[in-house]
Amino acid sequence: MQWGNELLTTVYNLVQQQNVHFLAERLEKLMEDHEQRKKRKYTLGYTPWLSLRKTWSLNMLGQLKEASLSFTEAERRLRENGPNVPLEYSFPNSWHLLWNALFHPFNMILIVLSSMSFIARDYPNGFIMFILLLISVVLRFCLEHKSSKAAMKLSEFLSCPIRVQRCAGRIEQKELIVQVDHKDVVPGDIVIFEPGDLFPGDVRLLSSKHLVVSQASLTGESMTTDKTADVREDRITSLLDLKNICFRGTNVVSGTGTGLVISTGSNTYMSTMFSKIGKKKPPDDFEKGLRWIFYMLISVMVVVVTIMFVTDYTASNDLSKSILFAISVASALNPQMLPLIINTCLAKGALAMAKDRCIVKRLTTIREMGSMDILCIDKTGTLTMNHAILVNHLDCRGLPQEKVLRYAFLNAYFKTEQKYPLDDAILAHVYSNGFKFQPSKWKKINEIPFDFIRRRVSVMLETDDRHSQFFGRFMVTKGALLEVIKVCSFIENFDKDEISTFSSDDYQRILNLSEELSNEGLRVIAVAIKKLEMQQTCETSNGSKRGISDFERDMILLGVITFFDPPKDSAKQALWCLAEKGVKAKVLTGDSLSLTTRVCREVGISTAHVITGPELEELDQDTFHETVKRATVLARLTPTQKLRVVQSLQTIGNHVVGFLGDGVNDSLALDAAHVSISVDSGVPIAKDMADIILLEKDLKVLAAGVEHGRLTFGNTMKYVKMSVIANLGSIISLLIATLFLKYEPLSSRQLVTQNFIYSVGQIVIPWDKMDEEYLKTPHKWSERGLPVFILWNGPVCTFCDVATLLFLLFYYKAYEDEKFFHTAWFIEGLLMHTLIVHLIRTEKIPFIQDIASWPVIFSTLVISTIGIAIPFTPIGKVMEFTVLPLSYFGFLFVIFLAYFTLGQVVKRFYILVYKRWL
């Protein structure tokens, strides 16, 4: 490993300095050293670097000549190095899933108690606990494994294409540009990238043009950094500050270029840097709540079990028997099925979302979707069809002019580095309407690509057509209206056939025209041109952004072209469904306010409170938070402003925020949101940051996902509250009974068997349904919610147990009849644990206003039948039970009727005070 690190450091330092001869010398020495170490069974840390030995020829290092791999060589390297998948994103293997299923905190309690039973030679109790643990672990493992397989199968639909250069041909080698999946990129590949692309590995730049890269995934800083191929760095320059090296996981913000992949997969800088820590979001409120339950139960267990041990030992003077009884009590207090129920609910939700063609990368996101109360969405492609249609080409007075379309066409036709739907719309309009602009008469000289700061693209062209107004070399620029106007000093007046100085009146007239067009639901971009000297190009000495302002200035504004992106038919219905479920939609977009407002009105989003990014920047902190809280439409936002909006809603508003985005400008907000959602057609950085990826960009899927999340959260909370109340209530009842009796209320074997039977019956809870009213509102974990819920509802269980105790003692005189009391207490406790789910699961009157799902009803009937029948079977004799009189079952009917009545009264008062149940 030390040798691999030494090689990595050497190549990085020497390549970026282009110290060719010393590098070749050093590589040879390292290779010889490696061969010797291989004989001594040493391993190499960065093997992919060795496969580049031939590629890194002296000519290539000295001149940076691009020599592509052949398809055969690429396949060989893929076999040698494996798929380009970092460790942190690989699906968990079976052993990892089994480990997680076994060593859950609540399972650890059961393992300890089972081990103590075996040590105390109480083998039946130990086996019962072990079987209970085995059921929990096996079922959780099977469900998680099934969910993981489904996610892996769906991930096959999720592709991240990378453009690479490859050689083809047996006799004459030809360079081809092909698209391959990111998993098939190998060391030595030459990749081509543009804005929004993720680097598929660590890359040494071969060429660059105005390249700006975000390294936030490595540095944690949102600031971007310029990268360039032609630079010499000092030896002391830190790795992340190298200008000609780009790392896996970082993304292109603007500019274009090519680069040589020098490491992939687990051998990249990011993978080695994060291989031990991983990429994991901090625990949410629910996970913190489960941790609190664990510590609370441990504390109660220590106190109550100690008291019961001392009490039992004082009465029986049998140390071994008292220890086993204490172990059984501790087992009864532990909610053994909690890990299984939680993961079953999540896995069930993931499988349901998989049917809707959603890839769930993080299972806990499903639960957070149920708590989500604000969804931030972009406009384009989410509310609209993302299919632009060119409507008109107008001069600055709003009159149709073919010349405006001609130069917009030339810009779109010769623009090669980044193609957008608007370019396709321009080309489609020209070809379908019979315009003959003869692009063959023009020659492209250079291009200044689009970026999210300038928001425009310029193409330098040259023509010999003397009929053209600009015979020779000129530049065509198109982009956002305000950004193009910034670089214009002149305007063409077609009615007078002259070019005049750009005046304030012209400026106001164009803005008014733009607003009118935007209010009609049209998107507006401007077109401008400029005459260039024959020797002028946009290249600079090092390919950086210096010099752009020298070209994009003093331009002539020709006019505008308008596009229409119709709203989706399904958007309005989906937003209505989300609103009905208590999820408020906020539109965060970089588009103009007027256009966004028009689209939002058509799909039913309120536009009473709207604001733009520049206006937000002028607000103080308190006003900013208040404005963000009220606003439903936020337009002309930068990526950093989107991040600030999401963070404001999370921290100040205390909301659970979802964010749906598919662009590079959404990546910061996606990383910060509780529920980050992207689409398969999104840019790689957006898909990388997302927790959920939609294979179809449809808000209806999100509405269904919210319902799955609510169902998952509700069923989980149902079990948590039910098990904690029932277990605590039964333990307190046991403590009270132990103080009254001269013997144990239940033997250790009976207590463990009772716990085993009703725990198995609770496995079906994830398949239960929820009240329709519950699914209509978002829910999240409350820090005070569970303790208060226990204080209100716990005494109800204890009251019924104490009533049963008094009935047995005074009606049946069960002071001395140990078998009779054990049998009666066993059945009452088992039925109580089985029936409590029906009281807790709904805020309505159970069995009258609402009935559980058929799996829960079936489980209740089976478990109750088993509990009542056990005393009449040979198992009952082994358990030392006796036959009970029918009058006792009549009493049970009355006591449970009283339990449901009292429980419903407490429930109504609780809902009246706290406005919620689960």
**537 three-state secondary structure:** coil
Q: How many residues does the chain have?
A: 918
Measure the CA–CA gap between 330 and 309, rounded to whole angstroms: 11
CA distance linking residue 375 with residue 382, whole number of Å: 12
Dihedral pair phi/psi, residue 377, rounded to 5° = -135, 155
Per-residue DSSP letters for 600-617?
Answer: HHHHT---SSEEEHHHHH
Amino acid at 369: M
**Cα–chain center distance at 151:** 13
Give the CA-trace dihedral at 685, 686, 691, 693, to 10 degrees: -120
| DSSP 8-state class, residue 530 | E
Give the N- to C-terminal CA distance of the chain in Å, as an integer: 53
**Collapsed DSSP state (helix, strand, coil) of residue 532:** strand
Adjacent-strand bridge partners of 400: 394
What the block records as the tokens of 512 is 């008014």
For residue 374, give both structure tokens: 């604000």
Identify the CA nearest to 590 among candidates 690, 483, 703: 483
Half-sphere exposure of 840 (CA within 13 A, CB side): 32
* DSSP symbols for 676-733: EEEETTS-HHHHHH-SEEESS--HHHHHHHHHHHHHHHHHHHHHHHHHHHHHHHHHHH
- Token pair, residue 294, equals 């664990």
The answer to whether residues 660 and 382 touch, using CB atoms and an 8 Å cutoff, is yes
Question: Residue 258: in which H helix or E strand, if any?
Answer: strand 251-263
What is the Cα–Cα distance from 176 to 182, expressed in whole angstroms? 17
Give the contacts of 580 (CB within 8 A, at least 6 positions apart).
Answer: 776
d(CA 554, CA 550): 9
DSSP, res 400 = B
**How many angstroms separate the most distant Cα atoms in the chain?**
118
Is residue 378 annotated as a catalytic residue, yes or no? yes
Do residues 180 and 252 lie in contact, with contact meaning Cβ atoms separated by under 8 Å? no
Distance (Å, whole) CA 560 – CA 480: 10
Q: Give the whole-angstrom CA distance, residue 125 versus residue 608.
A: 66
- CB–CB of 478/449 below 8 Å? no
45: helix, coil or strand? coil
Burial letters 823-862, b for 16+ CB under 10 A, else e: bbbbbbbbbbbbbbbbbbbbbeebeeebebeeebeebbee
Among residues 202, 373, 378, 688, the one annotated as catalytic is 378
C-alpha 712/C-alpha 690 separation (Å) is 20
Contacts from 267-271 at CB under 8 Å and sequence distance 24+? 267/45, 267/46, 267/47, 267/48, 267/49, 267/81, 268/86, 268/201, 268/202, 269/202, 269/218, 269/239, 270/86, 270/217, 270/218, 271/86, 271/87, 271/88
478 in helix, strand or coil? strand
DSSP 575-591: HHHHHHTT-EEEEE-SS
CA dist 121 and 685 (Å) reads: 58
Q: Which residues are catalytic?
A: 378
